[in-house]
Each structure stands twice: as structure tokens, then as C-alpha cells.
Structure 1
Amino acid sequence: MNKPFNLLTRWSRGRLIALALLAGLLTFGAGACQKSAPEDAHAHDGASTYYTCPMHPQIVRDEPGKCPICSMDLVKATKQGAAKPATAVTPAAALTHYTCPMHPQISRDMPGKCPICSMDLVKAAKAAPATPAPAGGPAAAPEVMLSAQQQQLAGIRVAALGGAGSSAGSAAGTTLLTGTITANANQTRTVSSRVAGRVERLFVRQTGESIQAGAPLVSIYSEQLQALQQEYVLSLAQQRAGGTSGNQYSRLIASARQRLRLLGLSEGQLRALAATGRPTASLTFYSPQAGLVQAVGVTEGQYVGEGTLLVSLTNLSSVWVEAQLYPEEVSGIKMGQSVQVQVAGLPDTYAGRVVFLSPERQANSKVTLLRVQVTNAGGWLQPGMQANVRLPSRSTTAATQSLTLPQDAVLRDSRGSYVWQQVDAAGRFRRHKVSTGPETDERVTITGGLSADAQVVVSGAYLLESEYQLRQGAQDSMNGMSM
């Protein structure tokens, strides 16, 4: 009886010891978990700053140190939400910080190295905090502050709206059309074959060659020409042999002479033929004017028919500029009107006059054709060059004249048009929404939103806008991380 009782007692005692050890382990684990639980940001609501890991924002400490997960240096951050009233700081201290060029979320008050990539932190200007708008009023305009060195590196150039960087009425004073220089068709001549035959000799072989009036172009062998010359020489011989009775051949001579002239023989060639009495087997065509060879349509040895193009000639002493314009712009243009032509790559401005205005639109297009004739005394204007035609617009009254800015000074998005204005000499810039009017390829009319003496950024506005957006993104990233 004692032996079973002892076994039962020993088993119960061992079970009690195991349960006690298990309870101890559970109690120790709960305490350890409570001690090592992730830090809660709410435990630091009383502090305005804390230290966190850039890669593991759930790590929050009151003092600098290393991340227990990746061993990176903890960085200083500021919490959003209710906090103690901020102490007054100077504008320079509030708008200057040090950040990493590769990791803009890193922001320090003093120089140092980036805790992520170890690059030297660079001095930068924060986006100026916008002044809170009154209840129910419009939002404050965005601002950016740049140092003098930053302005120089960004190429920021400022001009008064009514000063050298802008002008009154310039956008409404001219209309700019894009065109192309072409040859003057009134000074282009083509030489075609008047007989059927074979090209015996080419005196010009390449385009662009300069020739004088009366210079030989092409020589063509033709049996038809030879037969007509023999008929003409025979009629002359019969007239001389018949004496007074030979006058009956006068009509035959005149007929043969006229046919030879129609074939292209000159008066000199006819006199030489009558004097020698020896027909030539080839006919030479001569240049009707001085100019440049525009096209050569045949080669030596080629057989040609009547009407075949031999050589095309053009005189570039005057050229045409053909430009396109919309129908609503036609009403302000008159035939013979004086205009200014600016050719790409040439410093001079050429005077021209309107010689043609198409009464119909071009095929499959909403534009019509304008043709301007320009004197090309120096020969610098060549067909195919791009040119701009400046047309004086219809007269504008003083009420419609407005201040204008260069195209690069005006920024546009889906919400409207904006410009950047320099607020003070300390380098503070503010963005303003403006209303615009008529514009050209160079200037935009400003009809509202700015005063006439406003200092506007006319060069570097896009870089300034990008700088503001970059800093806004960096600030939003820091705010999001601190949450």
C-alpha cells in the first residue's frame, strides 16, 4: 500500500514543478515582450523632436543612436500635431538647412554627412512657410528664398514688368508667320527642244552653275532641221538664178525662214546660212537670260522629242517667301503691303512686299498661302531657307495695349498661368497667378494679376518652379515619415 502512494506523490510533485516552471517562463516572456515592444510615437507626445531610422520609421528614440534592426544612425525628426508653441527664430535660420543631394528627406541644422550615403550635406533654402490665409480668404502664394550664389547658378534674371524685360503693346503690334524661301517664278525660264533628234553636246552639266545670257546650253543633231535648212538654201538659190522672175520664190523663202525661226534658229544663224549656203546638221540652244542652272533634263547621246525639257534657269536677284496664315488673319493684309523678313542664320532684316494672297485654303488644311517678294541683292537668300515674316497687325487703341513678358517667364498648367516675382532684395520670390491676352512666339500679353512695376523673373522661371516643387516634395516626405 505504501509503494503506490509514494509513486502517486512523486508524480504529483513532478507535475507541480513543471507547471511552476511553465508559469515562470510565461511571466518572464510577458515581461520581456512588454519591455521590448516597439516604441510608440504616442509615448513621445510631450517632445517636439525625436530620433528615428530612415529605413525603419517605426523605431523611435529620445536620444541619438543606432537602429536595432539595420544598425544605421538614427536621424533627427520633428513630429506633426499638437506641440508646444514654437520659439521665435530669425528668418535666415528658419529658411536655411543642410540636406543631402541624393536624399532630400535628410534635413539637418548643421553641416555634416548624410547618414544614408555618407555624402556631404549641402546648404539649401527651405520653401518659405506660407502665411496662413484669413478664414474664407484665398490661399497664400508659394514662396522660395534663394541666396545670391544660388540665383547666379540658376541663371535667374529679373526685370520690371514695364521695363527692359517687357514692352507695351509689342504682342499686339506684330504678327509673326513662318515661311520658306522659294525661287521667283517670274524669273524662271525653261529651255525645251523644238526638234526631234539626239543630244550631241551638253555645255552645262550641273545645277547651280552660273551662266550669262546668250551662253550655249545644248546642241541637238536633227535630220528634220537639216532638211528644212536645205529647203531654205534651195529657195534662195532658185531666186538668185531666176533674176526678176525669181520673185515667185519669195513666198517659199519666207515660209522656210519662218519654220526655221520656230525651230529655234536666230537671225544671226539664218544670215550665216544664207551667206554660206551650207546647212548644219545640229541645232544649238542658247540661254535666254543670265542666272543659275536649276535643272538639267537630258544627257549626251539621249534621243529627245519635241517639247523635251533641256535646261531650267532661274535668276535669284529677287526671291519669294511663302508663308502660311489662318483665314482670320487675312483681313489685316493688303496687296503691296510692306513687311519685314528675318531669315534664320542671317543677322540682317530684309524688306519685302506682299505680291500674292491665296483666295482659297490649301488642300486638307485650315491655312492659306501668303507670298512676299524680297530683293536678293547680295545673293544670300537661297531657296529652301527658313524665314519669318513680320506683319504689322491692325491698329490697336491705347485701351487694348497691355504689358508683355517673354514666353519663358510665363508658366502654365491646367489651373492657369503663373509668373514668379521677386519680393525683396534678400532673394525671396513669390509665385502669382496672372491672366494673359494675345501672344506671339516670343511674348505674352499680361492683362491682370501684376502691377506695372512688378519685378518679374524673365529668365529661370522654370528652374525656380522646379526648385519649389522639389523642396515641397522633400518637406512632405519628412512630414510623412515623422507620422
Structure 2
Amino acid sequence: MKNFVQNKYLFAGLTLVVGISIGWLLQPAQTETKSSPETHEHATNDQGQWTCSMHPQIRQNEPGSCPICGMELIPVKSDINTSDLTIKMSPTAMKLANIETSIVGSGNAKKTIMLNGKVQINETLISKISAHFHGRIEKLHVNFTGEQIRKGQLLAEVYSPELVNAQKELQMTYKDRATNPVLYQSARKKLKNWKIGESEIDRIEKNDGEILNVKIHAHHGGIVLKRNVAQGDHVQMGDILFELANLSNVWLMLDVYESDIQWVNPGDQIQFTVASFPGKSFEGKISYLDPFIDPKSRVAKARVNVDNREGMLKPEMFASAILKSNISSEKEDIIIPKTAVMWTGKKSVVYIKTTNNESIHFQMRQVTLGPNLGESYIINEGLDEGEEIVINGTFSVDAAAQLAGKPSMMNPEGEATTKGHKHN
């Protein structure tokens, strides 16, 4: 009985020692777990910044509310590189913003110039009919301006006392032509100078009759521009009786502004239209460029010879012309649409499209513009052939870059347009 009690106390003592030992071994692990400060801290992102899902330009160093819309801020994703100068955009966002891109190409540059002008009379086809002697208009066969005249048509009949005397002189010298041929030839020449035909002179010298009135015929066909005499008027030698214009060929006089003169050269082909014939296009070549600029209008005149045998073009018609000028260059030029360029007067920028890990990025790039080609620009510096640029929706991309705090046309340094407030 005594041995049983002793064994019982011995077993209880061993159990107590083992329990204390196990407790001592486990205590450091439990203490370390309770005192670990990491279990009570807020989880933060790698950058330690917070932003608004609706206004990504907001950046704060601690959570809170958006100062613009009041929404709760969210952590900036760790996979975003804040030093990246590009802006990421999904295909859906590109479609909603109507953003289009194109591959940069090169080619022979042609500048399109719009010119305005008027149809004018071809001055080289104007003819004047004058009196070669003194006389009186007995009959006038042209009575109004604008009348169409054929070549050889009778215009007027003039009575002249000088003609009567010249005919008598011819008849007298004709009889003595063998002994005095010089005087005879002089008498014939006088009548020829008055535009009297050879057959008429032959009839006069044989005394088969006399000509009382000199008939004046049109040397060229055309439209009567001026009629300076009326029936019964007396005229003197050298007086202009009629002025005719042949409209089978006309001039188109175009206004070339000072800034466009360098692109206009004689020989350039143009196409033009007039309001009287919608849909009808006329063609011609520049034959002359005025060497002087009008000091008031600041334009020079370019002259185009136009075939008008159909008579469709009338003097003083207004015309709108298009000229495509080849810009000579030793190499092909980089040409992009005007819609791809954003410019402030001092600098011009485009947006380059790149793809990375199946994502689309855009980055602003400054370029140096060359000549303006009308709907496009030549790029002197800043782009290479084969690069992809935004050609439609450029302002949408630039606005997104501004909101994201990335470099843009208005903020080339990439500063955010609106900064978040810090909480105290």
C-alpha cells in the first residue's frame, strides 16, 4: 500500500514536469505571433499611392475619397509603371473614341492649290479695222456690238473723193504703162493699199467702170467689241471703225496668292469649273505668270490658254481652278494626313501607336512640318516610314493622356491637370 502511494506521486510529478516543458517550448512561438506588427497593418500597394477609378489623374499617398467625384480611392495597380510616357487604351475604348491609325508611308509629294479667277478675252486675237483714206460712211452693215462676224464679211461702204481721183490716175497711167511703168505700178499700189482687190483694179484700169464706194471687209472673224462709227459719219485716215475679238480661244486669269507663287510654274496643268455648267470640267495649261504682285490684293496673275471653239466660255465668267504641283525632291518624302497633326503654332505633335504584350499604347512625339500639301503635310523630321500613327481621333488620345498625367500637347512634361488633396 505504501509503495502504491509513492508511485502515484512520482507519476504526477513527472506529468507536471513534462507539461511545464512543453509549455515553455511553445511559448516563444505564441508570443512572436501576437507581437508581429505586420498582422495589424493595412495592406498597401508597391507604389504606396491611391487613385480614383473615374479620375486617374488623382494621386494620393493614403486612402480616402476623390476630391472631384467623392468616390472611394483604390490602390494604384502594381503592374503600372508610373514612369512610362505612353497611355494604354483598349480596343473597345479606341472604337468608342473613333480612333483610326495608319502606317506612315513615303512618295512623290504633290501640292494641291485652289485658285479663283475670271475668263477674259485673248488679247492676241483682237483685231481692229481702220479707215485707209478720208471719206463718208455711205452704208453700214454692222449696227450693234456683240454681233458675230465672219472673215471676209462686208462691214461698211465708204465714199471718198480721193478714190475717184485715184481711179482716174490709174486709167491715165495704164495707157502709158509701156513708157512709164513706174508711175503705172504706183497707181495700182495706191488702190491695193486701200484694200481693193486685184480683179477690181483690173476692171478700173480698162475703163470698164468706176468704183464710187470703197467696200470694207472683215480681215478676221469674231465678235464686234466696239463700233465707233454710224452711217453718214465722216472718217479720217487711220480712224478705228470696228474692233473684233475671236473667242475660239480665251484666257483664264487666275489670282495666285503670294504664299503660293513658289508652287505655280508655266506649263502646269490645271482643271477648272464655272457656275454656268455644273459638273463640266475644263482644262488648260499655265502659259504666263505675272512677274509683279499687286500691292493691294497681294496676288499675281497666272494666265491659262483655253480652247473655246464650242463657245461655252464667256468673258467675265468666274472660275474655280485646281492645280496639282509636283514638288521636286531627290528622295521620296514622308507624307501624313493633316488630321494626324496637332499644332499650337510653335510645335507640332503626332501620336505613335505601339503594341506590347497584346496591349495598345500611344505616345506623343514632336515633328517638324514641311510644306502644306492641302490635305496633308510633308514631315521633315520626327517620323520614319513604317511607323503607325493616329490619323483620326487625335484629340481624344491627347485628352486621355492629359487625364492620365502623361505628356500631351498642352502638358508636354506630363503633369496632371488636377492633383488630389492630402488628408491631414
* 1:403-428 CA-partner distances (Å, limit 9, x unpaired): 11244543432332234667799999
1:227 is displaced (CA, Å) by 1.1
Superposed CA deviations along residues 374-400 of structure 1, whole A, max 9, x for unmatched, are: 666766666664544545444x223xx
How far off is 1:157 after superposition?
Answer: 6.3
Corresponding residue number in structure 2 for 1:261:
192
TM-score normalised according to structure 2 size: 0.54
Q: Is residue 2:109 matched to residue 1:170?
A: yes
Aligned to 2:272: 343
Identity %, equivalent residues: 15
What SS is found at the alignment partner of 2:165?
A: helix
**Distance (Å, rounded) in 1 between the aligned partners of 2:132 and 2:152:** 17
1:4-47 CA-to-partner distances (Å, cap 9, x unmatched) read xxxxxxxxxxxxxxxxxxxxxxxxxxxxxxxxxxxxxxxxxxxx
Please state if 1:312 is matched with 2:244.
yes
* Partner of residue 54, structure 1: none
Cα offset, 1:221, TM superposition:
3.5
Where structure 2 has 5 or more consecutive residues not aligned to the other structure, the ranges are 1-50, 53-64, 405-415
Looking at structure 2, the residues matched to 247 and 316 of structure 1 have their Cα atoms a distance apart, in angstroms, of 49
**Amino acid in the other structure paired with 1:284:** I
For 1:362 and 1:321, how far apart are their aligned partners in 2? Answer: 14
- Does the residue aligned with 1:311 lie in a helix, a strand or coil? strand
Is 2:166 aligned against 1:232?
A: yes
Q: Give the direction of change, closer, same or farther, for the CA distance of 1:410–1:211 in structure 2 (3 Å limit).
A: farther
**How many residues in Structure 1 have an aligned counterpart in Structure 2?**
332
Structure 1: which 5+ runs fail to align?
A: 1-47, 50-76, 90-129
Does the CA-based 8 Å contact 1:323-1:389 persist in structure 2? no
- Which protein shows a greater Rg? 2
Q: Secondary structure at the match of 1:397?
A: coil
Given that 2:104 and 2:336 are in contact with CA atoms closer than 8 Å, whether structure 1 keeps it comes out as yes
Map of 1:86 onto structure 2 = 74
SS at match of 2:74: coil
Indicate the residue corresponding to 2:330 in structure 1.
397
Distance change (3 Å), C-alpha of 1:211 and 1:294: closer
Equivalent residue number for residue 416 of structure 1: 347
Give the aligned residue type for 1:169. N
Aligned position for 2:3 = none
- Per the alignment, do residues 254 and 245 of structure 1 end up closer, same or farther by CA in structure 2, a change over 3 Å counting? closer
Partners of 1:131 and 1:140 within 8 A in 2? no
Q: Is the 8 A contact 2:258 2:293 kept in 1?
A: no
Give the alignment partner of residue 156 of structure 2, picking from 194, 219, 232: 219
Code of the residue aligned with 2:156 in structure 1: it is S
Distance in 1 (alpha carbons) for counterparts of 2:417 and 2:172: 111
Query: Relative to structure 2, which stretch is displaced further, 366-375 or 300-309?
Result: 366-375
Alpha-carbon deviations, 1:41-94, whole Å to 9, x = none? xxxxxxx99xxxxxxxxxxxxxxxxxxxxxxxxxxx9525999532689xxxxx
Hey, what does 1:298 align to over in structure 2? 228
**Kept in 2: contact 1:202–1:299 (CA 8 A):** no
Task: Give the distance between the partners of 2:150 and 2:216, measured in 1 at CA.
Answer: 16
Q: Which amino acid aligns with 1:267?
A: E
* Structure 1 counterpart of 2:385, one-letter code: A
| SS across alignment from 1:312 | strand
**Map 1:175-254 → 2, pairs under 5 A:** 178=115, 182-196=120-134, 200-203=139-142, 205-207=144-146, 210-216=148-154, 218-219=155-156, 221-222=158-159, 226-238=160-172, 254=185
Amino acid at match of 2:333: S
State whether residues 352 and 362 of structure 2, in contact with CA within 8 Å, keep that contact through their aligned partners in structure 1.
yes
CA 1:307 to 1:458, structure 2 compared with 1: closer, same or farther past 3 Å? farther
Distance 1:142 1:196 in 2: 94
Relative to structure 1, is the Cα distance of residues 377 and 235 closer, same or farther in structure 2, using a 3 angstrom cutoff? closer
Distance 1:378 1:426 in 2: 63
Q: Does the 8 A contact of 1:190 with 1:312 survive in 2? A: yes
Relative contact order (C-alpha < 8 Å, sep 6+): which is higher? 2
CA contact under 8 A between 1:419 and 1:456: conserved in structure 2? yes
Distance 2:340 2:241 in 1: 55
Amino acid at match of 1:194: H
Scaled by the length of structure 1, what TM-score is found?
0.49
Partner letter of residue 262 of structure 1? N
Give the AA of the match of 1:85. Answer: L
Counterpart selection for 2:372 from 427, 439, 442: 439
